[in-house]
Amino acid sequence: MSTSVGKLTPMTVQRATPKSIRTRKAIETAARELFCTNGFERTTVRDIGARAGIDPSMIIRYFGSKDALFAQVAEPNLQLQDLDIIDMDGIGEALVRHFLAQWEGEQAGRGLPVLLRSAASNDDAAGRIRDIFQEQVFPVISRAGPPETAPDRAGLVATQLLGLALARYVLRIPPVVAMSSDVIVKTIGETVQRYATKG
Amino acid sequence: MSTSVGKLTPMTVQRATPKSIRTRKAIETAARELFCTNGFERTTVRDIGARAGIDPSMIIRYFGSKDALFAQVAEPNLQLQDLDIIDMDGIGEALVRHFLAQWEGEQAGRGLPVLLRSAASNDDAAGRIRDIFQEQVFPVISRAGPPETAPDRAGLVATQLLGLALARYVLRIPPVVAMSSDVIVKTIGETVQRYATKG
DNA sequence: GTCTATAATTCGATAGAC
DNA sequence: GTCTATCGAATTATAGAC
């Protein structure tokens, strides 16, 4: 949900007819897939248009620019609020399981793969990932240990979770790809648990 | 060492005069820095020429193409052979310390940062990272535990080491950047030790 | 060996007909 | 609302004078 249909782009005013809604959604879906697969730089407006089955010029008309489209599409919401009520003894495994589900699920983290794929090429993609961890991961980790070590603990958790995503979904290192979710949750969960609580 | 001066590019035959050697090295250095900072896509041949203080057309003349230059420059050698003789009880900390030195040292891993920066944009950068781990990391990890679990153990080590590099050098997540080398070696070394030996 | 000039593409973005 | 046609800028790569 929340593809923010009502959110007007700062350009040509445009009514939200049923058809325009479908077109906008088609563009966003195609953009997400291509940004995620090829990263920001290697994805062209023309490619997105072709995949969405609409004219490339419509993309500019709807979103104003390629950058604006990327910003619209790369808004990860890790939905970690679900974990707030979990007891801290299982925070490690819970975090890993949650992340795997986010990456492999239908919504695919709503943008995290897109960002990670483009973090090296898009100017602010790295900054957005930083924001995500500060705003969404840090608060959760904070409560799992002494407050004064919270930044370090959150940072360590970030290295392991991002490294897992990088190796499994971007670089596709064979044994990491082949590993079952259960093994990952158990093995890496133990690491995350230690990072989150003891640092 | 081993900037492979004698290695002829498959193009215009060219004598290796002292001047041409200097030019070639200047190009390689500038390319490494820019590829490492901005990734493959955002680095232009013109930028490299400007930084090297030579004409952009010389780059094509010397290396044939931008892709060929990238391939020439992105040949990481982790030099893990130094670790072969270390006792396995300290393999975790040794690996992390070695990696940090590689990333932060003069030679900067001779290409690993370049590759990681470009893994999302350059077609074969991800493949090269896979090769690096299979050829260089895997053999070292193999000896640290039961052979049948070697791939999984090496894969787990990869997630943590690459995640550390990603968070600290590419995404620059503040607490990870601020963390001292000693703390990183100790904390993450403990994780790598467990992955390398027990899986 | 080096540089000037430019060819040949490709991209993002726009104008305007319908 | 959608598409055709195209602009202007940027890129890699080449040709040829010096």
Q: What is the pLDDT of residues A129-179, one digit of tens each?
A: 999 989 999 999 999 999 999 999 999 999 999 999 999 988 999 999 999
pLDDT, one tens digit per residue, over A21-48 is 999 999 999 999 999 888 999 999 999 9
pLDDT, one tens digit per residue, over A83-127 is 766 678 899 999 999 999 888 876 655 678 889 888 876 767 889
Nearest by CB: B173 against A41, A133, A183: A133
A100 and A58 in a single domain? The answer is no
Mean pLDDT for chain B overall: 87
Nucleic strand D interface residues, CB < 7 Å: A 14-17, 19-20, 23, 54-58, 61; B 43-47, 56-57, 60-61, 64-67
Q: What CATH number should be reported for the domain holding residue A55?
A: 1.10.10.60
pTM of the model: 0.89
Nearest by CB: A187 against B158, B168, B199: B199
A55 touches strand C (CB under 7 A): no
A35 and A62 in a single domain? The answer is yes
Is residue A4's pLDDT more than 70?
Answer: no
Q: How many domains does chain B have?
A: 2
Check if the beta carbon of residue B59 is closer than 8 Å to that of residue B69: yes
A156 is in which domain, residue-wise?
Answer: 83-197
Nearest by CB: B171 against A130, A151, A188: A130
pLDDT of residue A1: 40
The whole-angstrom separation of Cα A124 and Cα A103 is 21
| Spans of chain B below 50 pLDDT | 1-12
Is any Cβ of chain A less than 8 angstroms from the Cβ of B96?
no
B5 within a domain of the structure (yes/no): no
Check if the beta carbon of residue B112 is closer than 8 Å to that of residue B165: yes
A101 Cβ contact partners less than 8 Å away, ≥ 6 residues apart: none
Q: Give pairs for A75-80: CB < 8 Å, separation 24+.
A: A75/A110, A75/A111, A76/A109, A76/A110, A76/A111, A76/A112, A76/A114, A76/A115, A76/A128, A76/A132, A77/A110, A77/A111, A77/A136, A78/A102, A78/A109, A78/A112, A78/A132, A78/A136, A78/A137, A80/A136, A80/A137, A80/A140
A41 within a domain of the structure (yes/no): yes
pLDDT of residue B69: 95
Is residue A5's pLDDT more than 50?
Answer: no
A14 touches strand C (CB under 7 A): no
B96 within a domain of the structure (yes/no): yes
Is any Cβ of chain B less than 8 angstroms from the Cβ of A162?
yes
Q: Which sign, positive or negative, has the C-alpha torsion A182, A117, B178, B98?
A: positive
pLDDT of residue B125: 86
A60 touches strand C (CB under 7 A): yes
Grouping H, G, I as helix, E, B as strand and the rest as coil, residue A120 is coil
Q: How far is CA A90 from CA A55, A98, A151, B12, B103, in A?
A: 49, 12, 20, 62, 34
pLDDT of residue B2: 35
pLDDT of residue B80: 84
Among A21, A48, A73, the domain boundary falls at A73
Residue of B nearest to A196 (CA): B187
Closest of B100, B42, B39 to residue B73, by C-alpha: B39
The whole-angstrom separation of Cα A123 and Cα A116 is 12
Is residue A14's pLDDT more than 50?
Answer: yes
Is any Cβ of chain B less than 8 angstroms from the Cβ of A67?
no
Q: Which two tokens stand for residue B62?
A: 């010397």
Nearest by CB: B163 against A39, A160, A179: A160
Question: Which of A:131-160 have CB within 8 Å of B?
Answer: 133, 151-152, 154-156, 158-160
B29 and B92 in a single domain? The answer is no
For residue A193, the distance in angstroms to the closest alpha carbon of chain B comes to 11
Grouping H, G, I as helix, E, B as strand and the rest as coil, residue A85 is coil
B135 and B44 in a single domain? The answer is no
A5 within a domain of the structure (yes/no): no
B157 and B59 in a single domain? The answer is no
Exposed e or buried b per residue across B165-196, where buried means at least 16 C-beta atoms within 10 angstroms of its C-beta: bbbbbbbebebbeebeeeebbebbbebbbbbb
The whole-angstrom separation of Cα A66 and Cα A88 is 42
B41 Cβ contact partners less than 8 Å away, ≥ 6 residues apart: A39, A41, A42, A121, B118, B121, B122
- The C1' atom of C14 and the CA atom of A26 lie apart, in whole Å, by 22
Q: Which nucleotide does the CA of A55 lie closest to, via C1'?
A: D3
The whole-angstrom separation of Cα B116 and Cα B74 is 10
* DSSP secondary structure letter of residue A105: S
